[in-house]
Amino acid sequence: MAKERDRDRGDRGNDDGLQDRLIKVRRSSTTVKGGRRFTFNALVVIGDGKGKVAFGYGKANEVPPAVEKATKEARELVRRKRAVHLRGDTIPHRIVGRYGSSRVILVPAGAGTGVKAGASVRAVLEVAGVRNILTKVHGSTNPMNLIKATLDGLENLRSREAVARLRGVAL
């Protein structure tokens, strides 16, 4: 059952331990002398399930090459990213991620809650390894902006040790 559900969401596990999710495929057209010419854009999120996550955006004349380009870009970016701080299956504290006019509020949740989020935010959190979280989106619901806002929130998370170090106190 779980395999079937993951396949429906566009999850494709790979041999290198990275999971990727296809978020959105859009069709764009331009009118030329002979009619319309279509191109496709693909948005993919990739992560290792342990806190590293990145996204890729690819454009091509057909869907499969667009998805491949987006996946390749995301794979290159995920290697350069640092892992986000997680506390078990959730995040250590409440945070608001911002990008453009999109705001994503991320709230830690207890075990068994699951990922309560829309499609774009859910994909980012699941490939990052977050299993229990509550989210709320304010402002723009553009999938690209939501992904960037979620990544902003995750990158600004701090562990207890980092906060103690910044404040100059001992735990």
pLDDT digits (tens, 9 = 90+) for 70-101: 999 999 999 888 888 888 889 999 999 999 99
Q: Which residues of the chain have pLDDT under 50?
A: 1, 3-5, 7
Whole-number Å distance between alpha carbons of 53 and 151: 8
Q: Which residues 6+ apart lie within 8 Å of 144 measured at CB?
A: 43, 57
DSSP state, residue 84:
P
Q: In the prediction, which pLDDT does 1 show? A: 46
pTM: 0.85
Burial of 135 (0-12, 13-18, 19+ CB in 10 A): buried
User: Which phi and psi (to 5°) does residue 154 adopt?
Assistant: -65, -40
Could you give all domains of the chain from N- to C-terminal order, each with its CATH number?
2-80 (3.30.160.20), 95-167 (3.30.230.10)
